[in-house]
Amino acid sequence: MSLAPSYEASRRLHAQHGRSYYLATRLLPADVRPSVHALYGFARAADEVVDDVRSHLSPAEKAAALAALREAVLVGDPLVDVAPAVHDTLQRHAIPFRYVDDFLDAMAQDLTVSCYDTYEDLLAYTHGSAAVIGVQLTHVFGTVVPVELAAPYAADLGVAMQLTNFLRDVGEDLSRGRVYLPQEDLDRYGVTVAQLRARVVDDRFAALMAFEVARTRRLYATAAQGIRLLSPAARPCVEAALALYAGILDEVERSGYRVLDRRVTVGPARRALLLGRALARR
């Protein structure tokens, strides 16, 4: 696959699987969007390797598939849909390849690790699964300060978004055999994994979720302080992405924390409102 079709394949993946984030990218200059789509497409391609239950691949075979994806990106293999676009994006924006390795290491961890004892353990995982993606995007967006000063805020935003997904998808993750709520937090609020699997939403579970939501909101608040360090053209997109993802936490609360048997979403009207507010600030 040549470069243009590879970027288009990445864009389609982004539009199909990352609706809120994809909407936010419409606020970016047209010449920046393809690189964002490429990075999302790569993340999605890796995620599909790990979570594909139809292929019946063993964990070892999935790990080998992740390693093959790495090599494809390293050389821009035209036989892998997203690889040429990702390779070009990394080169174009001087993004260190170690971030690709960190991300794929986290994806490989999902093949063998199904739960986390502490919040710090979970953060170590999200460094690769989310923080490095935020840092890569900082290279794409550009900054008004040295990139290393903006990177920690971008990392925090990536982690906040990942934690938001975890809180929205507790039930879906359980169906894959994973629990991203730290065991120390479950213990603190008297919630058991058996209760989660039984889809029991009671006062203890609500208190646990309220704690996790509040902690994630604090991470968004920290991340928001770094938006001013990005290039002016990128700020509306990041503001919108932050608002849209933080809005998922609002919906989790409004649902009464009923995330064990359904997936809550931000409705089209609210997404449009949040996007419009960001657009008005351009």
**Buried b / exposed e across 106-115, counting CB within 10 Å, b at 16+?**
bbbebbeeee
When the pLDDT of each residue in the chain is averaged and rounded to a whole number, the result is: 92
Query: How far is residue 106's CA from residue 124's CA, in Å, rounded to a whole number?
Result: 9
Rounded mean pLDDT, 31-54: 89
Which contacts of 253-260 are long-range, i.e. CB under 8 A and separated by 24 or more positions? 253/210, 253/213, 256/201, 256/206, 257/201, 257/205, 257/206, 257/209, 257/210, 258/201, 259/167, 259/168, 259/169, 259/170, 259/171, 259/209, 260/170, 260/171, 260/174, 260/196, 260/199, 260/200, 260/201, 260/205
Give the pLDDT band (50/70/90) at residue 39. very high
- Percent over 90 (pLDDT), the chain: 80
Cβ count within 10 A of residue 92: 13
Question: How far separated are the first and last CA of the chain, in Å rounded?
Answer: 36
Predicted pLDDT of residue 282: 53
Rounded mean pLDDT, 29-41: 94
Predicted pLDDT of residue 264: 83
The domain 153-282 belongs to what CATH superfamily?
Farnesyl Diphosphate Synthase (1.10.600.10)
- Spell out the residues 6+ positions from residue 139 whose beta carbon is closer than 8 angstroms to its own: 93, 94, 95, 147
Query: How far is residue 272's CA from residue 268's CA, in Å, rounded to a whole number?
Result: 6
Predicted pLDDT of residue 26: 86
Q: Calculate the CA 260 to chain-centre distance.
A: 20
The closest of 41, 35, 52 to 15, measured between CA atoms, is 41
The closest of 190, 139, 187 to 32, measured between CA atoms, is 139
Predicted pLDDT of residue 53: 59
- Percent over 70 (pLDDT), the chain: 94
Whole-number CA gyration radius for the chain: 19
Query: How far is residue 90's CA from residue 236's CA, in Å, rounded to a whole number?
Result: 23
Q: Read off the pTM.
A: 0.92
Q: Is 70 exposed, middle or buried (0-12, 13-18, 19+ CB in 10 A)?
A: middle
Query: How far is residue 214's CA from residue 217's CA, in Å, rounded to a whole number?
Result: 5
Give the pLDDT band (50/70/90) at residue 198. very high
**Domain limits, the chain:** 1-112, 153-282
Predicted pLDDT of residue 278: 58
- Backbone phi, then psi, for 165, in 5-degree steps? -60, -40
The closest of 140, 66, 56, 75 to 104, measured between CA atoms, is 66
Give the pLDDT band (50/70/90) at residue 201. very high
β partners of residue 80:
none
pLDDT tens digit sequence for 250-276: 999 999 999 999 888 777 767 767 666
Rounded mean pLDDT, 130-157: 97
